[in-house]
């Protein structure tokens, strides 16, 4: 099932610390030069896949904020430069524990994609400014 939402990106109001617990939940890929768009995920979108390394089914493709409950294998922020709304906060649950982490847009600097541990679900994606 592909969930696709489009709309105006809104920066998250307020500031908050990124939960350190999420760092252990997702295995981060190193940032390098811009990489090709992952399958089905054009520039300007945040996408989630059923498999690791952006493989399997494209489960989610959003250009705006999203909330729900989706088991994922990997995620990818393919956003574009947009002051105040080009990074994403991703809220996830693993073993009943919530965590939120911020992802830069491809190619970084910093993390812009991740593989999920088995059992991880994402519940919220919020576009925001710098991490």
- What pLDDT does 55 receive? 97
Query: Is 68 in contact with 13 (CB distance < 8 Å)?
Result: no
The residue ranking higher by pLDDT, 19 or 59, is 59
Domain assignment present for 64: yes
Kindly write down the DSSP assignment for every residue of 67-123, as one continuous string: EEEEE-SEEEEE----TTSSEEEEEEEETTEEEEEEEPPTT-SS--EEEEPTT-EEE
Domain assignment present for 75: yes
Work out the pLDDT band at 10, boundaries 50, 70, 90: very low
Number of domains in the chain: 1
Separation between Cα atoms, residue 2 and residue 89, nearest integer Å:
20
Domain assignment present for 14: no
Domain assignment present for 37: no
Average pLDDT (99-105) is 96
Domain assignment present for 12: no
Domain assignment present for 35: no
Residue 24's φ and ψ, nearest 5 degrees, are: -85, -15
Query: Is 104 in contact with 87 (CB distance < 8 Å)?
Result: yes
- What pLDDT does 34 receive? 76
Domain span including residue 93: 3-7+19-30+43-128
Average pLDDT (69-88) is 95
Domain assignment present for 13: no
- What pLDDT does 17 receive? 28
- What pLDDT does 108 receive? 85
Query: Is 125 in contact with 75 (CB distance < 8 Å)?
Result: no
Q: pLDDT tens, 103-128?
A: 999 998 889 999 999 999 999 999 99
Domain assignment present for 38: no
Of 27-31, 94-98, 122-126, least confident by mean pLDDT is 27-31
């Amino acid at each position: 099932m592909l969930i696709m939402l489009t709309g105006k990106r809104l920066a998250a109001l307020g500031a908050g610390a990124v939960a350190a617990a999420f760092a252990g939940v997702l295995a981060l890929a190193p940032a390098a030069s811009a990489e090709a768009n992952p399958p089905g995920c054009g520039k300007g979108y945040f996408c989630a896949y059923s498999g690791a390394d952006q493989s399997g089914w494209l489960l989610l493709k959003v250009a705006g904020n999203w909330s729900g409950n989706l088991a994922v294998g990997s995620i990818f922020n393919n956003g574009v430069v947009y002051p105040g709304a080009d990074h994403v906060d991703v809220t996830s649950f693993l073993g009943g524990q919530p965590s939120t982490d911020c992802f830069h847009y491809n190619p970084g600097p910093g993390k812009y994609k991740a593989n999920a541990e088995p059992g991880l679900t994402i519940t919220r994606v919020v576009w925001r400014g710098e991490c």
